[in-house]
Amino acid sequence: MSRGEMASSDLSMILPRVLIVSRRTVRKNKFVDFVGEYHLDLIVSYGAVPVIVPRVSGVHMLLESFEPIHGVLLCEGEDIDPSHYDAELSGFSPEELEEIRKVHASDTSIDREKDTIELRLAKLCLERNIPYLGICRGSQVLNVACGGTLYQDVEKELSKKVPEEQRVAHMDYENYDGHRHVIKVLKNTPLHQWFKHSLEEDEMEMMVNSYHHQGVSKLAQRFVPMAFAPDGLIEGFYDPDAYNPEEGKFIMGLQFHPERMRNQDSDDFDYPGCPSAYKEFVKAVIAYEKKLNRSESVLKAPKLNQELEKKRRIIVKSFSIARNMYSSGGGTGQESELQVGAEFLEANTALSLQQEKRLKQMGATVRNASVYKQRLTMNEERERLARAIMGKMSISQLSDLMSFYHMMGKLCSEALERKLQDRVDEEPDF
């Protein structure tokens, strides 16, 4: 491998990963998976690596193999299986459904494997707050994943029910890439921010392309519309609570294709804001990756096998007994169990400062069981002598003695608090 190839390999290892599910087509009598190159080009140009998820059978069970996932971009494809949302209200007759299939033959063949893969990825993004950008079908997948519904055919269910001047052609097979229709952008939305220099303040309108016959009917509750077509169809939506690209938050769906809104002769974008969705999406992907790396860098406690876990519990129990015996100054009949802790301490004489502090907190302030027992015997002897002496003292003497020890206790507490505070101030910050 050359130095240049090694550098490219190293770069791919550090760039964030964006998953994109392929679409299936037939080429030379065989199925071929593909993804539109405009999507890939924009993802790469803004600093992420596109990872293509093939829509082959069984892949929906292997999505963990594509980890880490820093972003998901879902784009074009066939109609979503109506069983994933409430499609019964459309009331289409068999004849109408057949007519729709003939007009939109390339889109109405359901791809259930692609549905399953993409819905799982969408729900994974929603669960983990992974940045998600849905274009065209990808926006519909996002809405369905959150409980929204779709028009099975926008023309029959929506456009024909509005006044003629509000009707919109959402698909023009004769002028596929050149077709445009107007949308009205809502103020104070990301779409408004991206296209603000191209929008008239009063009209807030722009022209977009359109390649679909289905669309959002009932918008899922968590989302807010960003734009409408004249017939009332939602052309863009997002989750305002999950939108902050600088912090790795981005959940959005666009019905139109900003990546394809280009001049057919020069390949220039229709508007300067067209690539902004991809730019801000990748910005969120990069921020999410950094946030994920920070959380993963926190060391996790090692998992112990059953035998080691049993030993750990016995040692902890030994320390706990030592703490209770030492603080109470009396025996409990469990002195034999102290031997385990004593042996552990003898075998681990080289302790870090953190370990020593932890052991002291647990009451493990001695090195073997014999010292525990000697201290217990000494405390018991002292207590017996003290009781004998105080039994011979007068009430006045006992009162004076109690006052003296009360004062000494107060002074000791103050001195101890100062010393502890000094030690805390001296410890370095990490």
- Beta-carbon count within 10 A of 77 CB: 21
- Beta-carbon count within 10 A of 342 CB: 19
Q: Return the axis-axis angle of helices 276-297 and 37-45, rounded to nearest 10°.
A: 60
Residue 249 forms beta bridges with which residues? 244
Q: Would strands 17-21 and 49-53 be described as parallel, antiparallel, or unpaired? A: parallel
Rounded Cα distance between 318 and 38, Å, is 66
Which residue type sits at 102? K
Q: Is 259 a catalytic site residue?
A: yes
Rounded Cα distance between 60 and 142, Å, is 17
Q: Is the peptide bond prior to 94 cis by the omega test (within 30 degrees of 0)?
A: no
The active-site residue, picked from 60, 70, 181, 257, is 257
Helix/strand number for the chain, H first, E second: 13, 13
Rounded Cα distance between 192 and 110, Å, is 34
Rounded Cα distance between 363 and 325, Å, is 9
The active-site residue, picked from 157, 235, 259, 289, is 259
Rounded Cα distance between 424 and 277, Å, is 50
Q: Strands (DSSP E) along 95-200, which ranges?
A: 132-135, 150-151, 181-185
The active-site residue, picked from 39, 60, 125, 136, is 136
**Which residue's structure tokens are 């779409």?**
191
Select from 71, 74, 66 the least CA-distant residue to 128: 71
Residue ranges of alpha helices (H) inside 274-363 are 276-297, 306-328, 338-347, 353-361
Residues tagged active-site? 136, 257, 259
